[in-house]
A and B are shown apart, each in its own frame.
Chain A
Amino acid sequence: MTRVLSSETGTMTQLLQGSTWEAEAYQHALALKDLPDTWDRPGSRKPTIPAINAALKYIEGVAELELFVLGAPFIAPMSDGGVQLEWERGQRQLEIELLPDGSARFLASDAGEITEGELGPMLSPPDVKSLFGWLAAAP
């Protein structure tokens, strides 16, 4: 089941989570909705509800992979209203960026070699498995 932040009420359905880091990641992502619009620099936006909801879906999707070598992501607000999730393992880094409209893209970096791409508006299990399998396999 997915946690969803309501755009109308600002409330969230409480659901159970299994991973040790999952609850903390949900809490971090949800806290972004309370940032002021002035959280960064002039002209910045606080994370949008579609971006936060997409971040929650990705957190859930990654937790369901049960890749125990991966820990909690670092969760960063973006100045344009997006949200970024970042994982690291060894020399490998994986960033999932949720754009203000809820669509996603990724950047994978291995010792300075960088690949980036789109993930589309919907969470795609094969994409997630492939990306996170690569990260978990870091030497």
Chain B
Amino acid sequence: MPPDYLDDGELAADAVLWRSINPRHIKPDLTVSSAAYSTAGLSVYVLAESSVKALAAKFPGWPFQSFTSQVARDAGCIICKIPDDDGETSHREIHRAGNPGTRLSKTESVKIRDAAMWVYHDDVPRPAPPPPIG
């Protein structure tokens, strides 16, 4: 049975969402490719419902970016409370409001990417230039 894609109405507009960033999506100038945000069901975590250490442990070696739930909604998306594969309930999936389950449009991905900021925290890896080819 397909999941119900309903916006998590209890999630405040200023709730902080964390997105782990694959190092392959980090450009040499430490900006991020929109490819990092271009997926179906963009996986994020609500920081207030988890902890920095727990999130860092889920993605060893990967830095994080953060943005608020308002950013995703302003981009035309809904934020769905769907546990991750480990049952983590702080997890949310960001879906297209008009067509949930499909990949975010390029415009939606870019809008979220442009608003997201790097997380600088002692327990989180800092962003680094991309690894060498091969």
Residues of A near any B CB (own CB < 8 A): 27-28, 31, 34, 39-42, 74, 76-80, 84, 86, 95, 97, 105, 107, 109, 112, 114, 116
Contact A78 B38 (CB under 8 A): yes
A78 to B37, CA, bound (A): 10
A31 to B24, CA, bound (A): 12
- Interface residue B69 (Cβ < 8 Å from any Cβ of A): no
A80 to B22, CA, bound (A): 14
The chain A residue sitting closest to B133, CB to CB, is A31
Contacts of A114 in B (CB 8 A): 106-107, 110-111
Residues of B near any A CB (own CB < 8 A): 22, 24-25, 27-28, 33-36, 38-40, 43, 85, 103, 105-107, 110-111, 114, 133-134
CB < 8 Å: which of A42, A77, A109, A112 contacts B24? A77
Could you list 10 further interchain pairs (A-B, Cβ under 8 angstroms) beyond the known A39-B22, A74-B27, A84-B34? A42-B85, A74-B28, A86-B33, A95-B34, A95-B106, A97-B38, A107-B106, A112-B114, A116-B105, A116-B107
- Min CB distance, B28 to chain A, in Å? 8
A109 to B31, CA, bound (A): 15
Chain A facing B: main interface SS: strand
A105 to B36, CA, bound (A): 17
Chain B facing A: main interface SS: mixed
A116 to B34, CA, bound (A): 13
Contacts of B27 in A (CB 8 A): 74, 86
Contact B133 A28 (CB under 8 A): yes
- Min CB distance, B131 to chain A, in Å? 10
- Min CB distance, B2 to chain A, in Å? 16
With contact pairs A107-B110, A109-B110, A116-B105 given, residues A40 and B33 touching in the complex (Cβ less than 8 Å): no
Contact A80 B25 (CB under 8 A): no
Instruction: Jot down 8 A-B pairs with beta carbons below 8 A, ordered by A.
Output: A41-B43, A42-B85, A76-B36, A84-B33, A84-B34, A95-B34, A114-B110, A116-B107
